[in-house]
């Protein structure tokens, strides 16, 4: 039972646009894990979607200065001129893409950028192609906006990446968008220029399809992987592409709620119409902080990357040492998405048969007090996601418990 059913029981009928959408599985697992923790059980939660670092001091200082200066009022609808300038410069400096100030928009997190974009463009029945596994919000937002998510499975053998033939086959006259997320939440897989090229060629042949890219984890890549954004590879797609990014993950600013995007002027204007009736503008103080995040020193990113890489290696090798699990080494982000096909069909010490990845993750929570998220929450089974944005000590203990719990299955 999710919260929505509880609401209905109390005599409240929600609008049909959210009827099919339950409370996120990730939040449900988080709630169960927290409840067990409150009972005094030693639960380790490997579900966090945010870095365990602090927001840099120079960014905090910029926010404090903004408050003292009186930057505490409504700002321009979709971003202050200072922040839009910093974003435009960031796109040029880091991505080699020219977005003019009026081709940039700022919102309350990249999540609101996605919302604004789909609300502004998707008509009932319009299709949005989403490679799977996908960040859960994508399909829910598309559905709330009346669209149809077209989910294309991309398994570990495919490197969790969409192939050109799959994209070509999925495109119909109703396709409005295709959405790429590299590096990906939940798989950590990333598209190199060579991976993107054939996909962009397909899009060149289908001018009615728009390209949305979520580059949120751009700064968290390993082993010299060269991050690239599609519009930099194929500028001919720029007039029908939305390049989304934000400060949440790179600068450990999830609570500040600032996301941004570059796109064609007409789309940016349409997105502002939605925002004008939703939030009026992003937080003034957070925007001032984000100017400093983008314009200030960037050298700390390397250290954080190294720390995440160390933890990635620890998790991947521990998972691959467990018979029945198979974990691909991710190129970026702070998640592993490990296959657990070898656990399906096994029986727990309490006699319960593991039929699906969600049974396996339930077992890990109940038997080993480790909370991870099943692949089914991201549209691809049988897998499970670990977020390694937590201390090395907790990761080591959690992986020891997972190994022991797996050994207890028969």
Ligand X SMILES: Cc1ncc(COP(=O)(O)O)c(C=O)c1O
Q: Which positions touch ligand X (CB under 6 A)?
A: 49, 109-111, 135, 181, 185, 214, 216, 246, 248, 254, 259
List residues bridging with 106 in a β-sheet: 260
- Closest CB to ligand X among 56 and 369? 56
Residue 209 Cβ vs ligand X, minimum distance, rounded to whole Å: 21
Is the CB of 108 or the CB of 361 nearer to ligand X?
Answer: 108
- Nearer to ligand X (CB atom), residue 246 or residue 382: 246
Calculated CA dihedral for residues 357, 359, 362, 366, nearest 10 degrees:
-130
Q: Judging by beta carbons within 10 Å of its beta carbon (0-12, 13-18, 19+), is residue 147 exposed, middle or buried?
A: buried
- Write the CB contacts of 398 (distance below 8 Å, at least 6 apart in sequence): 44, 46, 368, 370, 386
Under DSSP, is residue 250 helix (H, G, I), strand (E, B) or coil? coil
Separation CA 125–CA 314 (nearest Å)? 44
Please identify the residue of the shown chain whose CB is closest to the bound ligand X.
109
Least distance from ligand X to the Cβ atom of residue 377, Å: 13
CB of 342 to ligand X, least distance (A): 28
121/373 Cα distance (integer angstroms) = 31
CB of 349 to ligand X, least distance (A): 35
* Nearest to ligand X of 171, 179 (CB atom): 179
CB of residue 207 to ligand X, shortest distance in Å:
27
Closer to ligand X by Cβ: residue 185 or 284 = 185
Closest approach of Cβ 28 to ligand X, in Å?
A: 16
Contact 259, 115 (CB under 8 A): no
The neighbouring-strand residues paired with 44 are 370
- CA torsion angle for 296, 302, 305, 310 (degrees, to 10)? -150
State in angstroms the smallest separation of the CB of 194 from ligand X.
22
Terminal CA-CA length for the chain = 30
Minimum CB distance to ligand X, residue 12 (Å): 28
User: Which of 230, 114, 250, 140 minimizes the C-alpha distance to 182?
Assistant: 230
**Which H helix or E strand runs over 78?**
none
Closer to ligand X by Cβ: residue 185 or 283? 185
Question: Closest CB to ligand X among 62 and 213?
Answer: 213
- 251/363 with CB nearer ligand X: 251
* 8 A C-beta contact, residue 32 and residue 49: no
Cα angle value 218/249/225 (rounded, 5°): 25
Q: φ and ψ at 135, to 5 degrees? A: -65, 125
Q: Which is nearer to ligand X, 363 or 383 (CB)?
A: 383
Min dist CB 111 to ligand X, Å, is 4
Report the distance separating Cα 34 and Cα 40, nearest Å: 10
């Amino acid at each position: 039972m999710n919260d929505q059913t509880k609401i209905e029981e109390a005599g409240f009928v929600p609008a049909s646009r959210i009827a099919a959408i339950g409370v996120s599985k990730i939040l449900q697992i988080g709630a169960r894990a927290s409840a067990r923790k409150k009972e005094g059980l030693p639960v380790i939660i490997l579900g966090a979607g945010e870095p365990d670092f602090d927001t840099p001091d120079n960014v905090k200082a910029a926010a404090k200065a903004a408050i003292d200066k009186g930057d505490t009022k409504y700002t321009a609808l979709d971003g202050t001129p200072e922040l839009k300038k910093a974003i435009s410069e960031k796109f040029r400096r880091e991505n080699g893409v020219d977005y003019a100030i009026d081709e940039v928009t700022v919102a309350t997190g990249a999540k609101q950028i996605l919302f604004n974009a789909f609300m502004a463009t998707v008509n009932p029945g319009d299709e949005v192609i989403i490679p799977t596994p996908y960040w859960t919000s994508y399909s829910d937002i598309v559905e709330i906006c009346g669209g149809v998510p077209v989910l294309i499975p991309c398994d570990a053998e495919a490197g969790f990446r969409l192939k050109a033939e799959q994209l070509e086959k999925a495109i119909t006259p109703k396709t409005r968008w295709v959405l790429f997320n590299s590096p990906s939440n939940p798989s950590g897989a990333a598209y190199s220029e060579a991976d993107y090229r054939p996909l962009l060629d397909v899009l060149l042949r289908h001018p009615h399809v728009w390209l949305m890219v979520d580059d949120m984890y751009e700064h968290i890549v390993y082993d010299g992987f060269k991050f690239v954004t599609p519009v930099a590879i194929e500028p001919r797609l720029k007039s029908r592409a939305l390049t989304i990014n934000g400060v949440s993950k790179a600068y450990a600013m999830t609570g500040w709620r600032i996301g941004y995007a570059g796109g064609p002027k007409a789309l940016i204007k349409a997105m502002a119409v939605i925002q004008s009736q939703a939030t009026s503008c992003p937080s003034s103080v957070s925007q001032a902080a984000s100017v400093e995040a983008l314009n200030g020193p960037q050298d700390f990113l390397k250290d954080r990357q190294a720390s995440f890489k160390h933890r990635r290696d620890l998790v991947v090798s521990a998972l691959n040492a467990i018979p029945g699990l198979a974990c691909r080494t991710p190129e970026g982000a702070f998640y592993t998405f490990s296959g657990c096909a070898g656990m399906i069909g096994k029986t727990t010490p309490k006699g319960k048969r593991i039929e699906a990845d969600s049974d396996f993750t339930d077992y890990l929570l109940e038997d080993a007090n480790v909370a991870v998220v099943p692949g089914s929450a991201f549209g691809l089974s049988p897998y499970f996601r670990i977020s390694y944005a937590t201390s090395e000590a907790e990761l080591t203990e959690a992986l020891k418990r997972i190994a022991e719990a797996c050994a207890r299955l028969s």
